[in-house]
Structure 1
Amino acid sequence: MTFSQYGDYFYLYILLLTLTPAVVLGLLGKNIKYYGIIASVFMIFLIIGRDVSLLYFTMFMIFEICLIKGYFYIRQKTKNKYIYWVFLFASMLPIIINKLSPYTSFGVIGFIGISYLNFRTIQMIIEIYDGAIKEVNLFKTLYFIIFFPTLSSGPIDRSRRFEADLENSIPKEEYINDYLVPGFGKILMGVGYKFVLAFLINTYWMSKIPSDINFVNSINYMYAYSLYLFFDFAGYSLFAVGTSYILGIKTPDNFNKPFISKDMKEFWTRWHISLSRWFGDYIFSRFVISSMRKKRFKKRATAAHVAQMITMITMGFWHGLTWYYILYGVYQGVVLILTDIYQKKSKFYKKHKKEKWFEIVQIVITFNIACFGLLIFSGYFA
């Protein structure tokens, strides 16, 4: 038997029971990390199940831990970039195989949450190469990778930030005020988002839209799906962040009122924040810096535009090897480039950008641009 993480009330009941010892430890001023790893193993066993997925998970963990420890050892001897590229590609193999497996005769090879777990291991290989990670402790690395609250929905945390939280000694009063109360508050908000608002939108709006594809139905579905996806996904993220807090880990928030963004660049600082920052740090910024050093382009703006397309198309492929996910990535890349060009070239924009009426117009336009992108993402036309 497996459970849908944060997907039903029974899972929340099991979660509450699992968190109870953590709350007791926190109230006693004790470190929660050792219980946290036991709870993570237990919850992952329930979420992934005892079928072949558990075998894939075990193989993944052994493979990635060996890669991380092995590359950390080698990195102390040499910063050879070719060795780095070999290890980096090897760390990506699980997600590559997982994305390709539905198109082979083997069926899906992977387990729930493989994408999010793989992001954590890839990030560690990159930061070991950079010299940012000075130590690879087996216990901390294992706990970081298998930390169950963020298994299937993110947010995508960073190992150094996570490990810093592990070392915090949290007094009782601080645990109550900064961890326990905010944690349960986020979980309750997640219940409202997912089990109330997302449920109502899906039941009384989205599911009522006729299946015939025409202009009216498409626009109707676009708004319904966009709002449903936000409340459902933001609800998942709130559950994950709230659960993390109760376990003594301040996992970063993943959404920050994305539909009040004034442009699509701002939208991506508010929507799935951890994923945006991950791609921004490890693909966009690195491509721009590398391009300027190697003088691939005459202007930094050109490098940034190419990097935006590469970043967003990669994000599209990460979601899945289907045409609408890839088109979604292309669409987002083009929109970001056009936004950048407009803001730099438009005298009208520069003149009015700080005026209240213009900000409202921008929010309305950005909302519709974002919703159309999510309509593509939904596969509505597939």
Structure 2
Amino acid sequence: MINLQPYENPGYFVLLVVALLPAIIIRLNGRRSHWYETLVSFVFLFLMFDGRKWTQGVALIGYTIWQFAIVALYLRYRTKKDSPNKFSVFFWSVVLAIAPLTVVKFTPLFDHGRSSIVGFLGISYLTFKTVGMIMETRDGFIKDFHPVKFLQFLLFMPTISSGPIDRYRRFEKDYDRTLDREQYLDLFGKGIDRLFLGFFYKFILGYGFGTMLLPNLQRQAMQARGGFLDFSWPLIGVMYCYSMYLFFDFAGYSLFAIGISNLMGVETPKNFNYPWISHNIKDFWNRWHMTLSFWFRDYIYMRFVFFIMKHKWIKSRVTIANLGYLLLFLIMGIWHGETWYYITYGIFHATVMICTDAWIRWKKKHEGLLPHNWFTHAVAILLTFNTICFSFLIFSGFLDRLWFH
């Protein structure tokens, strides 16, 4: 029996492409069929949560009803004549929207590692979509609530399990437009290219690093382990190997989601942009898991900074920015899990961001004092690469096994 978890094996892609063939043919004729694309999406969502995972499917249905009600009621409140733009209504709308995700994330902490009954595959990405809609509604960018479009956006099958995280207004434009034959052929070609690249990333490079090399290096590192903070050559190999595995596996998933989206006529935003050539940590977060990075930047960091500046609680903009980094990456670490290594991973990135900002300010103040050429640029890339790989070693949780178990 074929595993119908998204993008786990070639058989899944065969079934999905066969199911999408009628939609592709309709697209090639310069038209589109919303109802058929919706049907395919819901059939594959159903297959994701059949059998032993039926409770996750029920949780997804309940979650969708919950978020639908919150978004619909808040948008109705905001667009009603003479309705005040009360912060309290906005605040509680966001709190209620993230409540299911909060329960899912913290249940294992208080219930001896057990998973929450309200959890399901993709709940984080769906929550990010909903909260983004609420915030853009408050800002006045979203003025109408279209029930069908909201459900299409929230439950868009290619991206539900692994992202990328789309924005409602961008998705709505793709949903409403009809491409002519030439436009669709161009997008179709990009989609096929991304699918093949995703196969190369996940099933060849990701498999090579994650399945063939990493376990052997981890075993050698465990055998060579010494005391706390003791590093060995096998451990350094684990650091680089895990980083490569994490990238190729995750980037492969993202390419699959984007490629299938393209076949359905949707230009889902890309998630990775050559992150290993980043010249500092800020550049890295503009290239790595970009849709998540930009979501956290726009909806957490920027709003925190504007809120503090508006109320004039802190005068120093540098201090505000630094506190924003700490808040941003601490939340990002906790979102991954309530363990010391995820939280340390977040604090580590916040610290490096703060140091990078200080370094950039120092260079501007002393412009011309340091050389800027291909060599210094290469050194910056090398330092960033190793810093990121070390952070991923923390993120992997392997140090927890190595030092404390």
TM over 0.5: yes
State the Cα deviation string for residues 247-300 of structure 1 (Å, max 9, x = none): 111000000110100000000000000000000000111111122221122221
The letter for the 2-side match of 1:372 is: F
Query: In the TM superposition, what is the alpha-carbon distance from 1:353 to its structure 2 partner?
Result: 6.1
Is 1:376 aligned to residue 384 of structure 2?
no
Is 1:208 aligned to residue 216 of structure 2?
yes
Aligned to 2:194, what secondary structure does the other structure show? Answer: helix
Is 1:91 aligned to residue 136 of structure 2?
no
Aligned to 1:297, what secondary structure does the other structure show? Answer: coil
Aligned length: 381
| 8 Å Cα contact 2:221/2:235 also seen in 1 | no
Give identity over the alignment, percent: 38
Deviates more, 1:13-22 or 1:191-200: 13-22
Tell me which of 318, 336, 339 is aligned to 2:353.
336
Query: In the TM superposition, what is the alpha-carbon distance from 1:348 to its structure 2 partner?
Result: 7.1
Is 1:157 aligned to residue 158 of structure 2?
no
Query: In the TM superposition, what is the alpha-carbon distance from 1:101 to its structure 2 partner?
Result: 1.9
Tell me which of 125, 128, 150 is aligned to 2:134.
125
Is 1:198 aligned to residue 201 of structure 2?
no
Distance 2:206 2:115 in 1: 31
Tell me which of 225, 234, 239 is aligned to 2:256.
239
Query: In the TM superposition, what is the alpha-carbon distance from 1:349 to its structure 2 partner?
Result: 7.7
| 8 Å Cα contact 1:22/1:32 also seen in 2 | yes
Distance 2:149 2:27 in 1: 19
Distance 2:212 2:184 in 1: 40
| 8 Å Cα contact 2:221/2:232 also seen in 1 | no
Matches within 5 A, 1:76-115: 76=79, 77-105=83-111, 107-109=115-117, 110-115=119-124
Deviates more, 1:185-194 or 1:4-13: 4-13
Aligned to 2:325, what secondary structure does the other structure show? Answer: helix
| 8 Å Cα contact 2:296/2:328 also seen in 1 | yes
Give the aligned partner of residue 325 of structure 1. Answer: 342
Give the aligned partner of residue 242 of structure 2. Answer: 225
Given the superposition, is the C-alpha separation of residues 202 and 93 from structure 1 closer, same or farther in structure 2, using an over 3 Å criterion? same
| Unmatched tracts of structure 2, length 5 or more | 226-230, 401-405
Give the aligned partner of residue 44 of structure 1. Answer: 45
Distance 1:172 1:217 in 2: 54
Aligned to 1:37, what secondary structure does the other structure show? Answer: helix
Is 1:286 aligned to residue 303 of structure 2?
yes
The letter for the 2-side match of 1:317 is: I
| 8 Å Cα contact 2:104/2:115 also seen in 1 | no
Is 1:276 aligned to residue 293 of structure 2?
yes
| 8 Å Cα contact 2:342/2:395 also seen in 1 | yes
The letter for the 2-side match of 1:195 is: F
Deviates more, 1:282-291 or 1:56-65: 282-291
Give the aligned partner of residue 403 of structure 2. Answer: none
Query: In the TM superposition, what is the alpha-carbon distance from 1:191 to its structure 2 partner?
Result: 0.3
Distance 1:245 1:204 in 2: 32
Distance 2:384 2:271 in 1: 19
Aligned to 1:381, what secondary structure does the other structure show? Answer: helix
| 8 Å Cα contact 1:32/1:248 also seen in 2 | no
Distance 1:349 1:17 in 2: 59
RMSD over aligned Cα, in angstroms? Answer: 1.6
Given the superposition, is the C-alpha separation of residues 368 and 32 from structure 1 closer, same or farther in structure 2, using an over 3 Å criterion? farther
Query: In the TM superposition, what is the alpha-carbon distance from 1:49 to its structure 2 partner?
Result: 2.4
Deviates more, 1:132-141 or 1:68-77: 68-77
State the Cα deviation string for residues 167-202 of structure 1 (Å, max 9, x = none): 11200111001x100001101100000011111122
| 8 Å Cα contact 1:343/1:350 also seen in 2 | no
Distance 2:371 2:315 in 1: 29
Deviates more, 1:159-168 or 1:296-305: 296-305
The letter for the 2-side match of 1:185 is: D
Distance 1:336 1:129 in 2: 30
Distance 2:352 2:62 in 1: 40
Tell me which of 41, 47, 57 is aligned to 1:54.
57
The letter for the 2-side match of 1:69 is: A
Query: In the TM superposition, what is the alpha-carbon distance from 1:211 to its structure 2 partner?
Result: 4.5
The letter for the 2-side match of 1:70 is: L
State the Cα deviation string for residues 52-74 of structure 1 (Å, max 9, x = none): 11110010000000111011111
Deviates more, 1:27-36 or 1:85-94: 27-36
Given the superposition, is the C-alpha separation of residues 20 and 349 from structure 1 closer, same or farther in structure 2, using an over 3 Å criterion? farther
Tell me which of 333, 337, 344 is aligned to 1:316.
333
The letter for the 1-side match of 2:388 is: A
Give the aligned partner of residue 169 of structure 1. Answer: 178
TM-score, length of structure 1 as denominator length: 0.96
Give the aligned partner of residue 147 of structure 2. Answer: 138
Query: In the TM superposition, what is the alpha-carbon distance from 1:10 to its structure 2 partner?
Result: 1.8
Aligned to 1:7, what secondary structure does the other structure show? Answer: coil
Tell me which of 71, 77, 84 is aligned to 1:68.
71
Aligned to 2:398, what secondary structure does the other structure show? Answer: coil
Aligned to 2:338, what secondary structure does the other structure show? Answer: coil
TM-score, length of structure 2 as denominator length: 0.91
Distance 1:196 1:155 in 2: 22
Distance 1:107 1:153 in 2: 19
